[in-house]
Amino acid sequence: MAMGSRTSAWPLAVLYAGLIAYASLYPFTGWRVQGVEPWSWIWAPWPQYWTGFDMWSNFVGYMPLGGLLAVAALRLGWHRGAFWWGAAAALALSASVESLQTFLPGRVPSNVDFGLNSLGGALGAGLMVVLDRWGILARWSRFRDQWFAPGAHGGLVLLALWPLALLYPASVPFGLGQVADRLMAALADWLWDTPFVVWLPVRSEPAVPLSLLTQSFCIALSLLAPLLMAFGDMRAWWRRMAFLPFFFGGAMLAAGLSSALTHGPSHAWAWLSPATLVGMGAALAAALLCLPLPRRVCHAVMLLCLGVTLALLNRAPEVPYLVQSLEVWEQGRFIRFHGLSQWLGWLWPFAAILFGLRAVARSPARTEAAA
């Protein structure tokens, strides 16, 4: 690996660490000193009750963090200290989170969680070090350099986060960023009993649910947006063609996992309605037409797709089944991931818009040089 080379591992590691902290401390209510030291969990008795899901989630959840931190260190040439950096940083994050949980009545710090988190981070870091010694990470770097433009780091980070954003239940499959109703409700609560509450917009007519055709249109645009983001960072049309089956397969798996987590494994594919299939087919047809587009045009069309999708989704009401789905997430075992996936689902389109604006504003000469 080239020393000092730019890598997506650093921003991904920072984002992943932030998401872990958010999920571990969610919902951030009731902060207070509870009469115990923040480090008392270290020598506390082992918890009497735990589940296999909790143990595996604590162990597996920290593996990517340790791995990303080790890869980032390897990219900087820290070959001898890469493992220790990844393992120690994961351990420090876990210890900090467990200590902060002593101030939250709704969370219970645990030395078992700390041990599993630390082991997971160490295993992830060790795995990346082994892969580096076998030359696998170097092959991945060569593959990325051949397939993607040099400035593709931001796009790759957003593409890696997109499947995670899909885990949060949505009123329209793949439809991210439906925040208008919740934003207006939050603003109304904050501005209640103040003169500024009259400034909030009020709908003159009730929101009309999206028709099946409009839902298909939203699904197609919601799939095209991340796909065009990837196209804008790829060097050749045939590589874009080869990427299509992986993209649609990953999108279907993420949507199926979200449905299975919410409604049970037997309902993993319940979201595949005729309207969804029409939208996916339209997205595939449009993607084939976009294969020869220049990189800058791909980003411009991506911005158009995001703008239209957000406008349609935020003018429509939330469907009843979505409210029931959210209750399952908020009251069940997925409370840890509720806040994490919620914010990803809400903010991903807006982060993609900022990325697209920056890509389109880049000078044509710079874009061609990067290609």
pLDDT tens-digit series, residues 103-123: 888 777 888 889 999 999 999
Question: Quick one: tokens of 51?
Answer: 């589940």
Confidence category of residue 325, pLDDT binned at 50, 70, 90: low
Which residue has tokens 């070090």?
129
Q: How far apart are CA 62 and CA 16, in angstroms?
A: 9
Q: How far apart are CA 10 and CA 160, in angstroms?
A: 13
Confidence category of residue 4, pLDDT binned at 50, 70, 90: very low
The answer, yes or no, to whether residue 366 has pLDDT greater than 70, is: no
Number of structural domains in the chain: 2
What value does the mean pLDDT take over residues 262-266? 77
The residue range of the domain holding 189 is 162-370
What value does the mean pLDDT take over residues 39-46? 79
**pTM score, whole prediction:** 0.76
Closest by CA position to 169, among listed 274, 256, 253, 283: 256
> Do 168 and 137 share a structural domain?
no
Confidence category of residue 182, pLDDT binned at 50, 70, 90: confident
Q: Which amino acid is at 261?
A: L
Q: Are 309 and 279 in contact (CB under 8 A)?
A: no
Using the 3D structure, point to which of 89, 115, 147 is the last residue of a domain.
147
Question: Quick one: tokens of 60?
Answer: 């597996």
Phi and psi dihedrals of 32, rounded to 5?
-170, 160
> Do 192 and 289 share a structural domain?
yes
CA angle 239, 244, 250 (to 5 degrees): 125
Q: How far apart are CA 34 and CA 199, in angstroms?
A: 41
> Do 201 and 84 share a structural domain?
no
The answer, yes or no, to whether residue 154 has pLDDT greater than 60, is: yes
> Do 216 and 101 share a structural domain?
no
- Among the ranges given (13-22, 80-89, 315-324, 337-346), the one the predictor scored with the smallest mean pLDDT: 315-324
For residue 11, whether the previous peptide bond is cis, meaning omega lies within 30 degrees of 0, is no
Residue 38 vs residue 322, higher pLDDT: 38
> Do 239 and 115 share a structural domain?
no
Q: How far apart are CA 169 and CA 267, in angstroms?
A: 13
Confidence category of residue 3, pLDDT binned at 50, 70, 90: very low
Helix axes of 237-263 and 274-289: crossing angle, nearest 10 degrees: 160
> Do 330 and 223 share a structural domain?
yes
Q: Which residues contact 316 (CB under 8 A, 6 or more apart)?
A: 171, 178, 207, 208, 209, 210
Q: How far apart are CA 277 and CA 255, in angstroms?
A: 13
- Residue 264 carries which DSSP code? -
Using the 3D structure, point to which of 147, 178, 208 is the last residue of a domain.
147
